[in-house]
Amino acid sequence: MTLPKTPSMNLTGKRALVTGASSGIGQGCAVALAEAGAHVVCSARGMGRLQSTVDEMAGQGFSAEALSLDISDLDAIIAALTEQAPFDIIVNAAGYAKHTPATETEPSDFDAVMNINLRGAYFLSAWAAKAMQDAGIEGSIIHISSQMGHVGGIDRAVYCASKFGLEGMVKAMAIEWGKSRIRINTICPTFIRTPLTEPTFADPARVAWIEEKIKLGRTGVVEDIMGAVLYLASPASSLVTGSSMLIDGGWTAD
């Protein structure tokens, strides 16, 4: 009898691009991939905190470099994908939120959210998949979505629209690229304490709403996401595509 062998999560020799890597969830994703052996190109719009992140990663012996990249700038996306060596892994953690009642939403705010959360995510995925196909890479594309891609939320009509759209986009792309063995999935966190969510956590009414919804009785931290991104980036998830990994403490269970 031959016992089955546990798939490896070692990413040695793999190249990864992580957007939104200067802080929060994106930074955690970059560290998780680098710690597993990947060379990680860490990208964000500003170079200050991004370079500090890369310097600290290098100080811990990780292989990483910084790349200034605005995901809403399509020319910048295509340049990043054509000027760099091919990527085996794409993690899109760039995101934007502008929370208001739907009746008070400004068209400019709607466009800003969609340009980053959906339009940028769409073309990053499409162009990255094409580069993988051209290079013969059986890659993994991972988007940091949200539990709000599955449920509604207070003052979050625009944000929910962008994330519901992202979830549908990923399912359709998974169908297209399955024969190329290119996988695409989402990670859907609940409220994670990051610089992006600090305004929400500063509102006692919102905190009470969050704590009532999360069945496990606590909000999330970046470390809650790191294992999930490593799983989806590695051969351990080789039969997973077009899926959403909900890391929501049970928020969407009812």
Which amino acid would we find at residue 51? Q
Give the residue numbers annotated as catalytic, written as ranges.
159
Residue type, 201: F
- Phi/psi of residue 247, nearest 5 degrees: -120, 75
Q: How many helices (H) and strands (E) does the chain have?
A: 9, 7
Cβ-proximal residues to 114 (8 Å cutoff; 6+ apart), any chain: 158, 161, 162, 165
Sheet of strand 140-144: strand arrangement: 64-68, 39-44, 15-19, 89-92, 140-144, 183-189, 244-247
* Tokens, residue 115: 């340009």
CA distance 254 to 250: 8
Structure tokens at 48: 């200050």
CA distance 146 to 164: 9
Any alpha helices (H) in 11-155, and if so which ranges?
Answer: 24-35, 48-59, 74-83, 107-114, 121-135
Distance (Å, whole) CA 65 – CA 43: 9
Could you tell me if 97 and 196 are in contact, meaning their C-beta atoms sit under 8 angstroms apart?
A: yes
- Rounded to whole angstroms, the Cα distance separating 87 from 90 reads 7
